[in-house]
Amino acid sequence: MTPEELFEKSLVALRSADLLLQSGDFDGCCNRAYYAMFDAARAALVADGGVDQVLGIKSHSGLISFFSLRLVKTGRVSVELGKSFNKVEDLRLLADYRGDALELAQAQWAVEQAQWFVHGLQALFDGK
């Protein structure tokens, strides 16, 4: 997929996260917020020339680590964005696998972080 297609996919997930938040599905909201960030991270890495490496990554933790090494540690993406990616993934893991019901405040925070992350990366890497 191209960076543009991946960014579009992330925007769709972001809209879904907001709809799920409004409907009271906080677990689903955090899932979609995370995937919005995941696809935006993939888009940024592909736009940065890392397409072969991205295609070779087989896990979520692998993509997050590669994102951190290639974009955060080099200073092209803020440490705060990198941390928010990790924290929203933690919420997704709670919702999807541990069965803990998430609360409104957690879901709202996840959506806010995803919006900041997606739009920030898109501004840096879209059309690169």
The pTM (predicted TM-score) of the whole model is 0.94
Whole-number pLDDT of residue 98 = 79
Each residue's pLDDT, cut to its tens digit, for the chain (128 residues) gives 889 999 999 999 999 999 999 999 999 999 999 999 999 999 999 999 878 888 888 899 999 999 999 999 999 999 999 999 999 999 999 988 877 789 999 999 999 999 999 999 999 887 55
Whole-number pLDDT of residue 54 = 84
Structure tokens at 34: 């995370």
Sequence-separated (6 or more) residues with CB below 8 Å from residue 24:
none
Report the SS3 class of residue 103.
coil
Whole-number pLDDT of residue 50 = 77
Q: Domains for the chain: give ranges and CATH numbers.
A: 3-125 (1.20.120.330)
CA distances (Å), origin 10, targets 22, 103, 115: 19, 23, 10
